[in-house]
Structure 1
Amino acid sequence: MSTVQNPPATGVRVPWPDVHPRVRAAVEEFLGGHVIEAVTQDGGFSPAAAVRLRTGGGRRAFVKAVGPEPNADAVRIYRAEAAIAAVLPATVPAPRLLTTFELDGWVALVFEDIEGRHPATPWRRDELDRVLAAVRRMGEELTPAPIDAPTVEERFGDVFRGWRQLLEEDTAGLDPWALRHLAALAELESGWAAAAAGDTLLHSDLRADNLLVSGDRVYVVDWPWACRGAAWFDLVAMLPSVGMQGGPPPHELLPDPDPAITAALAGVAGFFVGQGRRPDPPGLPTVRAFQRAQGVVALEWLRHRTGWS
């Protein structure tokens, strides 16, 4: 296992008492009792509430809620998650969405509460093997895609342009290998969407903080970026985070030499490297450091796959 130091996958969470009072009242009405315990869950980056709730009557739920400040884009993302979560089939290993609310600019999602935890990081090999098996099994079960969702190109076409954008930007501080091969990386990246096309329903944002282990089961949470593409794309997008969080290098976990994987990886690596060079988004002060760390691993994986000196 790698000993790479990594930034935590945590952002600035909103405490339950700071959630809009109408949202809190609607959640309590739905749950049928006053909330007597609210435990904030730290994993994830969105500037929102993410809390496990317990009412006086003993009912439990997991609630995510976000308002228009400080990052209005988070509201759009939560709406997208609500739309996807509402139609995920029971075969998907995800917590069931119980209800949603939109009140005074806030969006709230109420899920069943899962007694589980995020995988340990640095990754333990037994948990990693269990997660990878679950991801591969999910890919098999979700082909063809059981629900309508955007294609992987529709979902990420606007942002998987990192190398091509760097051709037109200041490249100060860019990795020397990437700078030396920038034109070739941009060309390789241009084919990522065709390479990653397919009809598997993808999560497309798998990381330890979007997974829960509960006994022998693995649950996949946070589905706003769901899309349709090649079954292996979830692993390509996930493995840079595994490497930067103490797991094995990606080339050991996905040795398949398929050129389509290399092209898709160029898009993923360009995204992490390019985004990691940008200013922090409003309300998300930790996400760029996490992207930069993933970019280091993704770039090394891309160097290994291309064989470029």
Structure 2
Amino acid sequence: MSTRLLWRDLPVHVREAATAWFGTDVAHEASQPSGFSPGLASRLTLGDGRRVFVKAVGSERNPDSPRMYRRELAVMRYLPEAAPAPRLLWAHDDGDWVLLVLEDVDGHEPALPWRADDLDRVLEALGRTATLLTPAPADAPSLVRDIEETWHGWRSLATLAGPGALAALDPWAASQGDRLVGLELAAPAAARGNTLLHGDIRADNLLLTASGEVVVVDWPHAAVGAAWCDVLFLLPSAVAAGGVDPERAWARFGPARDAAPADVDAVLAGLAGYFLYSSTLPAPKNVPGVRRFQAQQGHAALAWLRQRLEQPRYRQ
């Protein structure tokens, strides 16, 4: 997915700052290969036997990644104790390199393709999390604003990318261009709510523990919106991995039962457009696999949207 850095690749001054806080050297490193950050993402065993999870990146590695780490650092500072997330232990920011030290969670990612029992476990846990994180902390940013600023995929494909771009991506989408643009325009209002959302839940951002917990990691996209949005964002990646019927999974998620079908369609359309348009752009520096993954998620979201729009019985 991405080209990870190792502990030895960090600048000396960053490693020295971290080891000074550790109070001991690093004895062992286990790099975590999944995900799309081009920085360090490693489980470290320290010289005194403690274990921590460390992530770090600098602007030379990718110009946007330090900003995302800073945003995650801000989230970690206001995230409620009830959130099923690793706790922030320490952070370093020298204006270029950003390093976060977090609790190391003894868990594993869901297997892909998704197993039915793992998916049920995650859906149940995310339903509980939505309740725990409502109302959202006052410091959290708005999902509505994020959508207004970044979800313009169908409009961009229709205007900037040329008349054949949409047809090349998907013939059905090309036949529904005006409808998709209309749904995309309705997405910000449809996503309005007062729940703190993770905003980017996928299998590689979930850890399943032996005690039955579901821990959610990597929180830079956290924002306030409708309680059902996190699972709607999750399902396209689950479908792309194989073996998941999104509408059946959606029906098993508690907050989905309170969602207006038209709002779900609008947010799903906006998400599909965001992924598909993004997939046509040049790859970010040192993140070679993200555009392919966005295309997979975009096509999965679009197929689910088409299913919903063409077969109203699924709304029952």
Verify same fold: TM over 0.5.
Answer: yes
Task: Give runs of aligned pairs for residues 132-151 of structure 1, distance below 5 A.
Answer: 132-151=123-142
**Equivalent of 1:30, from 21, 45, 58?**
21
CA distance in 2 between counterparts of 1:22 and 1:103 reads 10
CA distance in 1 between counterparts of 2:49 and 2:243 reads 38
| 1:147 shift after superposition | 4.3
SS in 2 for 1:105: coil
Residue 235 of structure 2: aligned partner: 239
Q: Is the 8 A contact 1:50 1:62 kept in 2?
A: yes
Contiguous gaps of at least 5 residues in structure 2: 252-256, 312-316
- The amino acid that maps onto 1:61 is V
CA distance in 1 between counterparts of 2:54 and 2:266 reads 38
Whether 2:172 is the aligned partner of 1:177: answer yes
- The amino acid that maps onto 1:144 is P
Residue 195 of structure 1: aligned partner: 190
CA distance in 1 between counterparts of 2:46 and 2:61 reads 29
RMSD: 1.5
Residue 266 of structure 1: aligned partner: 269
Q: Is the 8 A contact 1:40 1:51 kept in 2?
A: yes
| 1:246 shift after superposition | 2.0
Residue 60 of structure 2: aligned partner: 69
**Equivalent of 1:225, from 198, 221, 225?**
221
CA distance in 1 between counterparts of 2:127 and 2:56 reads 31
CA distance in 1 between counterparts of 2:153 and 2:81 reads 36
CA distance in 2 between counterparts of 1:147 and 1:26 reads 32
Q: Is the 8 A contact 1:88 1:147 kept in 2?
A: no
- The amino acid that maps onto 2:228 is W
SS in 2 for 1:198: coil
Residue 295 of structure 1: aligned partner: 298
| 1:101 shift after superposition | 0.1
Task: Give runs of aligned pairs for residues 4-153 of structure 1, distance below 5 A.
Answer: 10-103=1-94, 105-153=96-144
| 1:103 shift after superposition | 2.5
**Equivalent of 2:209, from 197, 214, 225?**
214
TM-score by length of 1: 0.94
| Cα offsets for 1:137-166 (capped at 9, x unmatched) | 111111111342111122232221111111
CA distance in 2 between counterparts of 1:54 and 1:253 reads 38
Residue 6 of structure 1: aligned partner: none
Larger helix proportion of the pair: 2
- The amino acid that maps onto 1:213 is L
| Cα offsets for 1:185-216 (capped at 9, x unmatched) | 00111000000100000001000000101110
SS in 1 for 2:78: coil
CA distance in 1 between counterparts of 2:227 and 2:95 reads 39
| 1:104 shift after superposition | 5.8
| 1:25 shift after superposition | 1.2
Aligned length: 300
Residue 254 of structure 2: aligned partner: none
- The amino acid that maps onto 1:295 is G
